[in-house]
A and B are shown apart, each in its own frame.
Chain A
């Protein structure tokens, strides 16, 4: 690998451009931060003007970003550092006062100036100044964190990433963490702007204001996030570019320009897609989640109270024993159940419309959550490994195996049952078809041997109808003897028919039509005798 000294002049120019752009983006993010925090302040102080402090935050952030490297190497307890810190914050204080004061108009500001002489602390340091200083300080500190990371992200970055011990977290990941954490904070602030803070502070009531999604700091928070993504794109580019430079890989001349164009296109596309996705048709999802969280917090609170009570009792008793004093009683704090706020609907939708939206929402949301969790686990195999070692996991695996085996057994049993049923059904159907066929058989088409069978079977059937049922154990001869006793008149014919049947059934002799006509004659006589029987 090349040494950092070998970095080309082009790369150094690129790095300067990157620094300029990334500092600009970070400063813009601080503007958004100031605006979001300002939206919250407006809830408490309606006369608050956010833009003045936001612009001031921009310049102070820029100053911080550019001078961070300079102050970084000063020792912590250094006079020069202390003096510069003091002077800087004095100037910031004056600027904040100027901006806050001028936000109410020049005349008002000029009226206030004489008051500083009378009572400096009371007149100069008012609530607006404190809030303004707080916002500026937050911007200053956050931009300092950005500056620390962005200054590291240059030639050293690939080396840091390549550290064999893996102790150093890559700078880009640290940057992403910082953006996400600060963004989460801004979401919290934005959410607070949607609550009636006055009612909450004075009456301890949670009243949620019905604001449009982008009002009350929503726009600035979204812009903060978008600027953050742009910064990530820039840092990704410079990171790659540094790698390529170190590896001496030639880079296409227009790549920087293309990257910038595609980044913008990407972010615009992202905004377009997100704007099409549903956000406010959760059918009370957040309410349900909020209620669950409230319940959890309440349980934790009661448990803590219980523990505290026991502890207080123990301590009180101990003190009573030692000092004979009175036991102190703790009063239970009262919990306030937030009222259920119902948002009035402005338009009347068809009854199926919310259902469609909620299905769409739930689908999108579930897919996203599942994807996020799956991806997280995929990227953190160590979590999976740790989970696998847990007894609960083992038990879950065993349960899963049992479930699979059971379901497999049930499935096999079911399929076997179904197959058996199908076989039975098929057999029944074939029997039915056979019976149907036998019922509909054409006597003329039968072979002479079959015709003899036919007459014998007719004899059995008709005899059974007269009450002389043939037992399964009876041979044809035994059955013939039974019939002979019942019909002695045609006994000879019965014997002849039986003989003819046995001959046709068990011999290989060719049965001719004359045999059939003979058997038919026997049968006719027998049939008449059977008819005659009362």
Chain B
């Protein structure tokens, strides 16, 4: 407000006192009343605003997320003007702030829509929304209230695979076993006549209807094995020039593999030497091998939030984990750098009966040399320079 307002009041009061005139009091009331009424109106009206933000809090890469903002005046006092500012992450293809100026009548509501684009995996904060207004005469500084923040998880890009040509004794999880300990109902070997003692569950009703005799399915004996991925996010293990792209590629590979393996109804686990803002452990994140879509979403959420680290080495991670993994488990090691210690660790895993596949993410120097060294120890190596290199596996 003007710095003259107090002198103004004093002057009026002095004039009124010297000339014994009560009229001046009316003007003092008017002036202070304008100030007080304006202040009260702006504060009251702003605090009676109800705001809701509706949006999906999870999105797959490439999706468009519709956001609806609703502002409702819950009181009879109109809002003369209100500035709406909602902070948005620029990574989602929108300006850094959603801004609008509105006025709201008594009990009026207004909706605003905008679209966010899931262009980059991550865990984003939408908001906080800030609403500000001031009195109609501009005597006061604008007052501001803040709304709630919301979070949005954008899952990493998933490349759908049709087949995964990773050389292995065990094609990703299910290894045919010589001993008929378990029968895999998904692997039908053939059919035969029903004999007493056969389970009714194995009756092939369609074949029975065709032949007129009870037919039972013959299943391949099998045993389900686990797949465990080790994702190296130690920034020192990626070339500094391509560090960001290579790390993102490694995450995309891990997400795509998880999607493919779990899509085949196999178990998949992952251990990452990165930081997750949701967990207390700053060096590594571990998700044990499980099946199912819920488990896949859990993995994807972790991969969405995960950030690179400089504190944890991959060797230690594999060393700690591989003793807990069973015989025949497939180890998928996704990294940007291969050291002798890593090859030694993977060789020990192979000697323990685990199948090891090493995936090199991004431009890695001396790939052939690494491949030769790894093959010497019986470790399969796949080099994926960029996303296009995975096209051969696409659906």
Contacts and interface: CB of A to CB of B under 8 A. Distances in A.
B102 A247 contact: no
A235 B142 CA distance: 15
Interface in B118-163: 134, 136-138
A458 interface: no
Given A240-B81, A270-B37, A379 B20 contact: no
A236 B136 contact: yes
A214 B138 CA distance: 28
A297 to B, nearest CB: 9
By DSSP majority rule, is chain B's interface helix, strand, loop, or mixed? helix
B17 A286 contact: yes
Interface centre among A233, A287, A373 (most CB of B within 10 A): A233
Interface stretch (B26-34, B191-199, B326-334): B26-34
Interface string B67-95: 00000000000101101000000000000
B12 A187 contact: yes
B37 A176 contact: no
A85 to B, nearest CB: 31
A190 B23 contact: yes
Contacts of A262: 78, 80, 103, 136
B87 to A, nearest CB: 14
Interface residues of A, number: 71
A250 B99 contact: yes
Contacts of B9: 369, 372
Nearest to A174: B2
A57 to B, nearest CB: 21
Contact of B28 (A239, A249, A368): A368
B4 A286 contact: no
Contact of B26 (A235, A279, A379): A279
Given A250-B100, A252-B102, A286-B22, A176 B4 contact: yes
Given A221-B27, A252-B101, A233 B137 contact: yes
Interface in A241-282: 244, 247-252, 254-255, 258-259, 262-263, 266, 269-270, 273-274, 277, 279-280, 282
Nearest to B19: A191
A191 B21 contact: yes
A373 B100 contact: no
A266 B38 contact: yes
B164 interface: no
Interface in B272-322: none
B23 A290 contact: no
A282 B25 contact: yes
B25 A255 contact: no
A273 B100 CA distance: 33
Given A249-B99, A263-B136, A372-B32, A176 B27 contact: no
A195 interface: yes
Contacts of B6: 372-373, 376
Contact of A249 (B5, B27, B101): B101
Interface in A69-96: none
Contacts of B35: 375
A223 to B, nearest CB: 11
B24 interface: yes
Given A249-B83, A255-B81, A255-B103, A289 B12 contact: no
A255 B102 contact: yes
Given A266-B37, A293-B14, A286 B136 contact: no
B83 A270 contact: no
A247 B17 contact: no
Nearest to B105: A258
A192 interface: yes
Contacts of B31: 180, 225
A235 B136 CA distance: 10
Nearest to B8: A180
Contacts of A289: 13-14, 16-17
Contacts of B34: 229, 270
B190 interface: no
B11 interface: yes
B81 A177 contact: no
B32 A194 contact: no
A188 B15 contact: yes
Nearest to B39: A375
A302 interface: no
B205 interface: no
Given A208-B20, A218-B23, A183 B136 contact: no
A240 B333 CA distance: 59
Contacts of B41: 266
Interface in A152-197: 172-173, 176-177, 180-181, 183-184, 187-188, 190-192, 194-195
A229 B34 CA distance: 8
A274 B29 contact: yes
Given A195-B19, A270-B37, A258 B11 contact: no
A4 interface: no
A277 B138 CA distance: 24
A244 B101 contact: yes
B166 to A, nearest CB: 52
Contacts of B29: 274, 277, 279, 364, 368
A309 interface: no
A294 B17 CA distance: 10
The CB with the most chain B CB atoms within 10 A, among A249, A273, A274, A294, is that of A274
B3 interface: yes
A254 B4 CA distance: 34
A375 to B, nearest CB: 8
A249 B20 CA distance: 52
A222 interface: yes
A222 B23 CA distance: 10
A85 B33 CA distance: 42
B37 A239 contact: no
Contacts of A181: 4, 8
B33 A270 contact: yes
Given A225-B30, A373-B6, A258 B136 contact: no
Given A172-B138, A213-B26, A274-B30, A269 B37 contact: yes
A232 interface: yes
Nearest to A261: B78
A371 interface: yes
Contacts of A471: none
A233 B6 CA distance: 20
Contact of A225 (B15, B27, B101): B27
A364 B26 CA distance: 12
Interface string A190-210: 111011000000000000100
A183 B3 CA distance: 15
A293 B19 contact: no
B200 interface: no
B33 A229 contact: no
Contact of B101 (A255, A273, A282): A255
26 contacts: A173-B1, A180-B2, A184-B12, A187-B27, A190-B23, A195-B19, A208-B20, A213-B23, A218-B23, A225-B27, A244-B101, A247-B99, A249-B83, A259-B81, A262-B103, A266-B41, A266-B136, A279-B22, A280-B22, A282-B22, A286-B16, A286-B17, A287-B20, A290-B17, A368-B29, A369-B9
Given A187-B12, A194-B19, A258-B78, 12 more contacts: A187-B16, A187-B23, A187-B27, A218-B23, A233-B136, A258-B80, A258-B105, A263-B136, A279-B22, A293-B18, A376-B6, A379-B1
The 10 closest A-B CB pairs, nearest first, are A236-B138, A289-B17, A191-B19, A176-B2, A180-B8, A191-B21, A258-B103, A280-B22, A376-B6, A290-B17
